[in-house]
Amino acid sequence: MVRMMFSRSEKPGITGATRNLTGPKAWSKTKISEGDIVVISAPDINRATAQRFIDAGVAGVVNTAQFTTGQVPNFGPQMLLDAGIELVENVDPEITEKVKNGKKGRLEGGHLYYGDRSLGSGAILDLDASMQRFDDARSALGDHLDALAGNTAELARSESPLLIDGLGIPDVDVDMVDRKVMVVSPLPDLKDQLRDLRFFLREYDPIIVAIESAADELLELGYRPAVIVGNPENIGSESLRSGATVVLPAEADGYAQGLERIQDLGVGAMTFPAATKNPTDLALLLADYHGASMVVHLGEKWDLDRVFSETESEDTPSALLSRLRVGPKFVHASSIAELYRVSKSGSGWLWALIGVLAAILVIILIAGFSGDAGFVDNLIDSWNNLALSVQGLFKN
């Protein structure tokens, strides 16, 4: 049990500095301390996150989502409650716009206050409810995984010609052989994520395959997709007319949603008939089939937590099989960004300069004390000998 020291004011509840951890990089940039009240947006909070809060000694956690949704049996909420941390869930997401890092707040009765002003409220989660949800989720997970396994096996059987031999993948007029291809899906923070990838984009100039509305934002930011995959109803006219090859997800009979819009705009397009209509999965298969040396996906991650939480989604089997088909060539963009991450401390150049100056000082000291004469005479003799040696190299 971690010893907790909470500040209690004259008013009831727990008082502490508020911390907003809901931004895309807030987890790494925001420092949390003992007694803080943190605001998160994290359904099914995991053990690692809970341990971080426990180690920091936070007083309360306010969640705009549920700590346990019932999709996965997560032990994080029980850990937090065992440590004496107050949990409030299902708070209105607008609270994230009102919270100011470091400002003193008060958590009482499921409400988060600044003074007497309530920023938002939610339901208090107790240990009994948390344990019950854990047991229910553990019982349901087995059934969900059985259904997922069956659906994945059926998709693999029905789409084996596509997955094994690439049957149905259109022959786009874009040379991807031994090229790096970046598949870009719509994201709320796409601009920021592209900024993190700027060095990779500059160095390798990957072929960009845009998914639906991501094409519009890419064009606005100065990036021109070579291929656009998706329903034309979700793509702007400028993007469709940009010269990119347009690929439409289609039914087995060739019918594709949005084909009428393409025809009205006078834009040529190809269809990609497949059981799945997820354009990101089709784009991954397209890049792999056409010989890409690396397929980078800039979009939402598919990890085990997401698989568990979306076992009943029709997109899950397709997401798993498409990424398995691409295999070791598949890389998520967050890993690329991490490789190119540059320290923003600004002190790297200073240490390099100090190192160079120290090396020069050592050389001067060695030269000055290496002879029988005085320091200055020895230094002059060493310099003259070096100059004569260099001249001799050119004469030879």
Amino acid (one-letter) located at 307 = V
pLDDT over threshold 80, residue 396: no
Higher pLDDT, 273 or 363: 273
DSSP character for 268? -
The Cα–Cα gap between 36 and 26 comes to: 15
Please state the pTM of the whole predicted model: 0.71
Query: What is the pLDDT averaged over residues 98-109?
Result: 94
Residue 358 pLDDT = 76
CA-wise closest residue to 215 among 172, 182, 169, 256 = 182
Pull the structure tokens for residue 85.
């941390």
DSSP character for 125? P
Q: Tell the burial category of 12 from Cβ atoms under 10 Å away from its Cβ (0-12, 13-18, 19+).
A: exposed
Residue 27 pLDDT = 76
Residue 377 pLDDT = 67
pLDDT by residue (tens digit) across 269-297? 999 999 998 999 999 999 999 999 999 99
pLDDT by residue (tens digit) across 31-67? 899 999 999 999 999 999 999 999 999 999 999 999 9
pLDDT by residue (tens digit) across 190-226? 999 999 999 999 999 999 999 999 999 999 999 999 9
Query: What is the pLDDT averaged over residues 337-343?
Result: 77
Q: Does domain 14-125 have CATH number 3.40.190.10?
A: no
The Cα–Cα gap between 80 and 53 comes to: 8
pLDDT over threshold 90, residue 84: yes
